[in-house]
Chains A and B, each alone.
Chain A
């Protein structure tokens, strides 16, 4: 069945360092979404990528969709304490979205 794997599971970074999380699917995705969940909160939509090779930026966040539409990445430049949380990718297969296992980011001040 559909599988979306995400690495790393945990990441601790010093404030100001960069951070990247990777998402890989066993099958081709029609699109991919990224969500952020603050500690104790619920996932909140960040962005959607649809086109092969697409790159989108939101301030310090850069999202990329692979050429084969099977992988994606989220890169945060110069992390801040407000970036703390768990980042999920969600790949759309034939009918539904399948969430990755998430990457929990800790930012050390």
Chain B
């Protein structure tokens, strides 16, 4: 089921460079999320979006920028990558408010900042 896809899956970049991670979902889900996963920290929310043109900060937003001009896309940009941003990034989506609001995750993007 490729309802939510991330690209690139693997990326190595240098400190100070700008990097954009792409996320695309085909379900027309209202909510989209970006999480980072680091050992010992679990999944931490970076940014989320409740609908097109609406974005909000999560737990760890510093150093990241998001946009959501279309419902299906939610790119995450690291404006000036730092080594501390080396992580696995997961994009996710869910339908919206409801009795069962399952979060669906993408395959993940492994980012290494050298």
> Does A88 lie within 8 Å of B43, measured CB to CB?
yes
Q: Which residues of A contact B54 (CB under 8 A)?
A: none
Nearest A residue (CB) for B50 = A95
Q: Which residues of A contact B74 (CB under 8 A)?
A: none
Q: A33-B102, A42-B90, A99-B35 given as contacts; is B107 within 8 A of A6 (CB)? A: no
Q: Which residues of B contact A85 (CB under 8 A)?
A: none
Count of chain B residues with Cβ under 8 Å from any Cβ of A?
A: 21
Q: Which of B16-42 contact A (CB under 8 A)?
A: 35, 40-42
**Closest Cβ of chain B: how far from A25's Cβ, in Å?**
14
Contact with B along A7-50 (1 / 0, CB 8 A): 00100000000000000000000000101000001111100101
> Does A96 lie within 8 Å of B43, measured CB to CB?
no
8 A-B contacts (beta carbon < 8 Å): A33-B102, A42-B90, A43-B90, A50-B99, A98-B45, A100-B42, A101-B41, A102-B43
Binding site for A on B (CB under 8 A): 35, 40-45, 48, 58-59, 90, 99-108
